Amino acid sequence: MTETAPRPTLEAVAARAGVSRATVSRVVNGGEGVREILVERVRRAVEELGYVPNQAARSLVTKRHDAVAVVIAEPETRVFTDPFFALQLRGISKELTAHDNQLVLLLTEGRADHARVARYLAGGHVDGALVFSLHLDDPLPGLIQGAGVPTVFGGRPDWKDGTPVYVDSDNRGGAREAVRHLVALGRTRIAHITGALDQTSAVDRLDGYRDVMRDVDPRLIVESDFTPAGGERAMRELLERCPDVDAVFAANDLTAVGALGVLRESGRRVPEDVAVIGFDDMLLVAERSDPPLTTVRQDIEDMGRLMARLLLRGPDSLGRDRNDENPAGASAGVILPTTLVRRASA
């Protein structure tokens, strides 16, 4: 739509620098085997003319785009309201920028757009993809495999065939630690507000709760969706079903904050009457809730950083300590440890 001046060509740069086209091309693609004095002359000409290399042509030679797609399997409205995604993107952005790779975030309005995302991935626009917030019945993973680009997933994918490469937190272990802490506090009616059970993170946290609470009263488990409004609904349901509940392990901090509001409304004191534990240790959420939230900390920004590093540099780039923490050993998953952070709520 803008009227633009004609784009400066490789030829123009060559003429200005007094070198051949091939020399300009070599400098633009890294400068290997070109004398420093010529590199300098070409760089000056590039700057003076405002030359932007034709990446398409460059990609034909190098087979690289220096760009990585990020796909979040949620509508853009969710991406911009749940701080989890901003944190994971922050880690990814820092790591990609450190390697001069462009972060290409492919936003969607919802699941109906995933076929279009897969077409973009298949179109030769990026060197790989980082994909997170998968849902069990979503065709996205299959579509992405069909697109044939190297992919690292955030969160354990649920399929069994192949060995998808992923980074995840120890959701099950973290959940166990939270529930054991509630048991140690002497609580006996310990409830769980689940996350969205079409995501493995929610399933794994529920499994961790069940590892500790064998033969639990099933009414103490209420299904929810990782949102504050969902946490409110679940807590109301729970108080109706089990008015004697004395502890709640919520699948994430946003849900826990919703539950805290409903407990306050109902006249119950936290932690005296009901102890509450969340999951994430989300910045600006867990510390600022009323009362401040005891929670299972996972380093979301670090997860993003590791996903990007795995994609760009492979498993060896993670260092020995990461592998030691991975109980699966030879598997393609990197599992990061969690920590229980104690504040006032439990």
Interface residue list for its own copies (CB under 8 A): 1-5, 7-8, 50-56, 58-59, 65-67, 76-77, 80-81, 86, 89-90, 93-94, 97, 100, 102-109, 113, 116-120, 122-125, 128, 142-143, 145-148, 150-152, 162-165, 310-311, 314, 332
Q: List the beta strands (DSSP E) in 170-210.
A: 190-193
Q: Report the residue number, 163 or 188, with the smaller CB distance to its own copies.
A: 163
Distance, in Å, from the CA atom of 343 to the CA atom of 98, rounded to the nearest integer, reads 35
Q: Which is nearer to its own copies, 20 or 163 (CB)?
A: 163
Asked if residues 336 and 303 have their Cβ atoms less than 8 Å apart, the reply is: yes
| Widest distance between CA atoms in the chain | 85
Q: Which is nearer to its own copies, 41 or 309 (CB)?
A: 309
Supply the minimum distance, in Å, between the C-beta of residue 188 and its own copies.
Answer: 40
Instruction: Report in angstroms how near the CB of residue 8 gets to its own copies at its nearest.
Output: 7
Q: For residue 14, which phi and psi values (nearest 5 degrees)?
A: -60, -45
d(CA 268, CA 255): 17
Amino acid code (one letter) for 6? P
φ, ψ dihedrals at 43, nearest 5°: -60, -40
Contact call for residues 167 and 307 (beta carbons, < 8 A): yes
Please, what is the minimum distance in Å from the beta carbon of residue 286 to its own copies?
18
For the four alpha carbons of 22, 26, 29 and 35, in that order, the dihedral sign comes to negative
By C-beta, is 118 or 234 nearer to its own copies? 118
Q: What is the smallest separation between the CB atom of 326 and its own copies, expressed in angstroms?
A: 15
Q: Name the residue nearer to its own copies (CB basis): 21 or 119.
A: 119
DSSP letter, residue 251: S
Backbone angles phi, psi at 297, to 5 degrees: -85, 130
As a whole number of angstroms, the distance between CA 157 and CA 277 comes to 26
The least CB distance from residue 4 to its own copies, in Å, is 5
- Nearest distance in Å: CB 281, its own copies: 18
Torsion of CA 154, 155, 160, 165, to 10 degrees: 30
Of 5 and 37, which CB lies nearer to its own copies in the complex structure?
Answer: 5
In the complex, the smallest distance separating the C-beta of residue 144 from its own copies, rounded to whole angstroms, is: 8
Q: Which is nearer to its own copies, 4 or 37 (CB)?
A: 4
